[in-house]
Structure 1
Amino acid sequence: MIRDNRFLISRKPFAIDLSTVTGEQQPRGDLHAFSGTANAVWYRRKDGVTRACIGTLGLWDHYLPRPLNLEDPHDILTADLDGRYGGKCHGRWDGERYWGAQEPAVMEQHLAVLRPMLANYPEIPDGHDGWWRF
């Protein structure tokens, strides 16, 4: 992944909760395979409407030239990871409508992050590190 200093929605960046970056790796001949996840938030725009999203990122690569330090989230994130599928959205807020979880407690947790996130667009929410892109 690449960490940008400025926000450009066209680059589809993510703000990542570094405390949730996890994964495992295994040797693959002279190379290494890594598979992991991280919780993230991001903005996307559709039909002129900006939306705040919360979910998870799948992090993986099957052919890394070196083993990663699994204790260092920055070492994992700066590896040449595959992100072709983007984030898996668990909740989304466009300022009028919420889409996502149906359980009231989870919905409240999501909206507690998404409402201020959209109100402060394009700021990085507290507890997250950004902006990261694949």
Structure 2
Amino acid sequence: MRRETCFLISRKPYAIDLSTITGKQHERGDRITFSGSAHALWFRRRAGITYACIGSLKLFSHYLPERLPLDAPHAVLSADLDGRYGGDTCGRWDGERYWGAQEPFQMALDLTVLEPMLANYPNIPDGYDGWWTFQPA
């Protein structure tokens, strides 16, 4: 991944909660396989409507040259990670409609993050680090 200096929705950027980055590593021949995840927020646009999304981000690579320092979140995110699956959305808000959890408590929690996020588009939400993308430079 790489950290962008400016927000461009077309680059599919993510704001990541650095404290939630987890992962496991093991040797695969002369390379290292890494598989992990992180809690993330992101914006997407469809049919002219901007959505604020909340969910998890899969972080993985099958061919790293060396082990990642799991206690250094920026080093993990800066590795050559595969982003083909993107974020796993568990909640989404477009300013009028919510999609996601059906439990009232979880809906309320999601909306406490998503409503101000959409209102402050495209700023990085408080407590998150961004904008990170899997897109090439």
Give the TM-score taking structure 1 as reference length. Answer: 0.99
Aligned to 1:11: 11
**Distance apart, 1:99 and its partner CA:** 0.1
Query: How many Å separate the matches in 1 of 2:36 and 2:30?
Result: 20
Aligned to 1:53: 53
RMSD: 0.5
Aligned to 1:81: 81
Query: Which consecutive unaligned segments of at least 5 residues does structure 2 have?
Result: none
Give the residue type in structure 2 aligned to 1:12. Answer: K
Give the residue type in structure 1 aligned to 2:26. Answer: Q
Aligned to 1:129: 129
Which residues of 2 match residues 1-134 of structure 1 at below 5 A?
Answer: 1-134=1-134
**Distance apart, 1:79 and its partner CA:** 0.4
**Distance apart, 1:29 and its partner CA:** 1.5
In the comparison of the two structures, how many residue pairs are matched? 134
Give the TM-score taking structure 2 as reference length. Answer: 0.97
Give the residue type in structure 2 aligned to 1:58. Answer: K
**Distance apart, 1:63 and its partner CA:** 0.5
Q: Deviation per CA, 1:24-62, whole angstroms, max 9, x where unpaired?
A: 100112110000000000000001000000000000001
Query: How many Å separate the matches in 1 of 2:5 and 2:20?
Result: 21
Q: Deviation per CA, 1:51-76, whole angstroms, max 9, x where unpaired?
A: 00000000000110111001111111
3-state secondary structure, aligned to 1:44 = strand
Query: How many Å separate the matches in 1 of 2:66 and 2:3?
Result: 20
Query: How many Å separate the matches in 2 of 1:42 and 1:50?
Result: 10
Query: How many Å separate the matches in 2 of 1:110 and 1:40?
Result: 12
3-state secondary structure, aligned to 2:123 = coil
**Distance apart, 1:112 and its partner CA:** 0.2
Query: How many Å separate the matches in 1 of 2:116 and 2:45?
Result: 17
Query: How many Å separate the matches in 1 of 2:116 and 2:52?
Result: 9
Query: How many Å separate the matches in 1 of 2:70 and 2:50?
Result: 34
